[in-house]
């Protein structure tokens, strides 16, 4: 977007302003709004009339529901830009926006046909503008009318600065990483991250695992894990991933000591134990101090670090030491470091981590990028730029 002239053009700017809101409708984390502002400001400064669009949550199409209204987001953008940002409820009822002005179109998921990537809706959106800008990396895995269909029909299409920054940072880490490449993958289930683990197994030098995922891998290596969360049906797959990494000369270090409790609750008592000392009713809820040190040594030597997922129940302080220590180690490392995913961003915020090379704004899209999947919203932009043919069907 910043390479082209936008003077006197009508710009449709698809951002991802899908931010968490509390029960009173107040925005509880404005990271995505802040991340979208450079692109919005650049379009205004280039003399465009700017229409911003985004989804919020997953409302029912065709029905206005105030819980999913972008009204609080219009106010937030307005106060950050220092100029009026009108909220336009009816996208197709005719509205005015002049060069240098900006409006926010109401939640795009109220439009019938958005999710289905409806052709007619996509054409109608394209007719609103001269230039379609997609700056919504966090929605790039969604093939919807405002992320994909419109890009087929708009006169001119381009990527916004946030989209560009995200794709460059992730590509740098995954396509041409400085060795050694260390991935930290936490979270509860192997099954939901299996494609990511399989892809990383091909490229990592060290795969550090935590959370329920590590428990399943511990099981696959013959450890007793008490009553801890694990997926027994995934044990075989975990063993295969472990062996593949080791056969390639890499490592998949598993926890040698852990923090356990008998229950997962706010007041649970945390006890450090070596693996091999667990009672049948113990729950593993964090990694232990020896393991933290072992993982920190690996992170210190890394050339590139990719981090997705906490290694313990970091929401409870007594089980947060492992995730906090690893987050700090990633921050202090000289490596090119990127992190992303919903839980990871929550941990980064909780522990005030700021010195990573790149913190993605995306959850699902970050994971799909790590999996090596083609993201439809990026594919269509590439196609319009003369790249590989995209799947143009709805
Ligand atoms: C996200 O939060 O991951 C994106 O905004 C996409 O939201 P969705 O999963 O509701 O499509």
What's the rounded Cα separation, in Å, for the pair 256 and 294? Answer: 9
Coil, strand, or helix at residue 358? Answer: strand
Instruction: Supply 173's token pair.
Output: 């880490």
| Cβ 142 under 6 angstroms from ligand 1 | yes
| Cβ 140 under 6 angstroms from ligand 1 | no
Catalytic residues: 32, 189, 342, 364
Site to probe by mutation for ligand 1, drawn from 28, 142, 144, 368 as the one with most ligand atoms within 8 Å of Cβ, is 142
Q: How much distance in Å is there from the Cα of 107 to the middle of ligand 1?
A: 13
Site to probe by mutation for ligand 1, drawn from 14, 15, 16, 143 as the one with most ligand atoms within 8 Å of Cβ, is 16
Locate the ligand 1 atom nearest the alpha carbon of residue 57 and give its number.
Answer: 10
Q: How much distance in Å is there from the Cα of 18 to the middle of ligand 1?
A: 7
| Cβ 108 under 6 angstroms from ligand 1 | no
| Cβ 58 under 6 angstroms from ligand 1 | yes
Q: pLDDT value at position 394?
A: 47
What's the rounded Cα separation, in Å, for the pair 65 and 139? Answer: 21
Q: How much distance in Å is there from the Cα of 222 to the middle of ligand 1?
A: 38
Q: Is 96 exposed, middle or buried (0-12, 13-18, 19+ CB in 10 A)?
A: exposed
What's the rounded Cα separation, in Å, for the pair 177 and 356? Answer: 16
**Element spanning 58, H or E:** none
The strand ranges marked E within 129-223 are 131-134, 156-159, 181-185, 206-209
Locate the ligand 1 atom nearest the alpha carbon of residue 16 and give its number.
Answer: 5
pLDDT 10s digits, 181-190: 999 999 989 9
Instruction: Select from 125, 160, 130, 156 the least CA-distant residue to 37.
Output: 160
Q: How many CB atoms lie within 10 A of CB 236?
A: 9
Whether residue 80 contacts residue 99, with contact meaning beta carbons closer than 8 Å, is answered with no
Q: How much distance in Å is there from the Cα of 58 to the middle of ligand 1?
A: 8
Whether residue 167 contacts residue 15, with contact meaning beta carbons closer than 8 Å, is answered with no
| Cβ 114 under 6 angstroms from ligand 1 | no
What's the rounded Cα separation, in Å, for the pair 331 and 337? Answer: 8
What's the rounded Cα separation, in Å, for the pair 247 and 176? Answer: 22
| Cβ 364 under 6 angstroms from ligand 1 | yes
Q: How much distance in Å is there from the Cα of 140 to the middle of ligand 1?
A: 9
Residue with the smallest CA separation from ligand 1 atom 7 is 139
Which residue numbers in the chain have pLDDT < 70?
Answer: 388-394
What's the rounded Cα separation, in Å, for the pair 211 and 47? Answer: 49
| Cβ 59 under 6 angstroms from ligand 1 | no
Whether residue 108 contacts residue 136, with contact meaning beta carbons closer than 8 Å, is answered with no
Instruction: Select from 361, 349, 340 the least CA-distant residue to 33.
Output: 361
Q: How many CB atoms lie within 10 A of CB 269?
A: 9
Instruction: Select from 98, 101, 84 the least CA-distant residue to 44.
Output: 101
Q: How much distance in Å is there from the Cα of 138 to the middle of ligand 1?
A: 7
What's the rounded Cα separation, in Å, for the pair 97 and 60? Answer: 28
């Amino acid at each position: 977007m910043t390479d082209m002239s936008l003077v006197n053009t009508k710009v449709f700017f698809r951002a991802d302003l899908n931010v968490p809101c509390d029960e009173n409708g107040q925005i509880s984390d404005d990271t995505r709004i802040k991340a979208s502002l450079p692109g919005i400001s650049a379009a205004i400064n280039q003399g465009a009339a700017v229409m911003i669009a985004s989804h919020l949550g997953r409302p029912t199409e065709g029905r206005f529901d105030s819980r999913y209204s972008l009204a609080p987001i219009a106010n937030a953008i307005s106060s950050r830009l220092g100029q009026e940002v009108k909220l336009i409820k009816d996208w197709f009822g005719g509205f005015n926006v002049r060069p240098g002005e900006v409006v926010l179109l109401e939640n795009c998921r109220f439009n019938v046909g958005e999710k289905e990537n409806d052709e007619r809706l996509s054409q109608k959106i394209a007719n609103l503008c001269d230039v379609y800008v997609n700056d919504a990396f966090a929605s790039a895995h969604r093939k919807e009318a405002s992320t994909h269909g419109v890009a087929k029909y708009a006169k001119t299409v381009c990527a916004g600065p946030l989209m560009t920054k995200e794709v460059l940072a992730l590509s740098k880490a995954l396509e041409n990483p400085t060795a050694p490449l260390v991935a930290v993958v936490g979270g509860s289930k192997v099954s939901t991250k299996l494609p990511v683990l399989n892809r990383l197994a091909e490229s990592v030098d060290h795969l550090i695992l935590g959370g329920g995922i590590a428990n399943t891998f511990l099981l696959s290596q013959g450890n007793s894990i008490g009553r801890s969360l694990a997926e027994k049906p995934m044990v075989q797959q975990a063993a295969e991933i472990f062996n593949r990494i080791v056969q390639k000369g890499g490592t998949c270090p598993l926890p040698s000591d852990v923090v356990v409790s008998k229950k997962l609750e706010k007041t649970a008592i945390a006890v450090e134990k070596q693996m091999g000392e667990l009672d049948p009713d113990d729950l593993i809820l964090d990694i232990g101090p020896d393991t933290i040190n072992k993982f920190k040594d690996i992170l210190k030597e890394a050339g590139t670090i990719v981090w997705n997922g906490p290694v313990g129940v970091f929401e409870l302080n007594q089980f947060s030491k492992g995730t906090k220590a690893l987050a700090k180690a990633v921050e202090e490392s000289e490596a090119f470091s990127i992190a992303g995913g919903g839980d990871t961003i929550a941990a980064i915020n909780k522990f005030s981590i700021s010195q990573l090379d790149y913190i993605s704004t995306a959850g699902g899209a970050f994971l799909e990028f790590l999996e090596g999947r083609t993201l439809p919203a990026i594919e269509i932009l590439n196609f319009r730029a003369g790249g590989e043919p995209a799947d143009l069907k709805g």
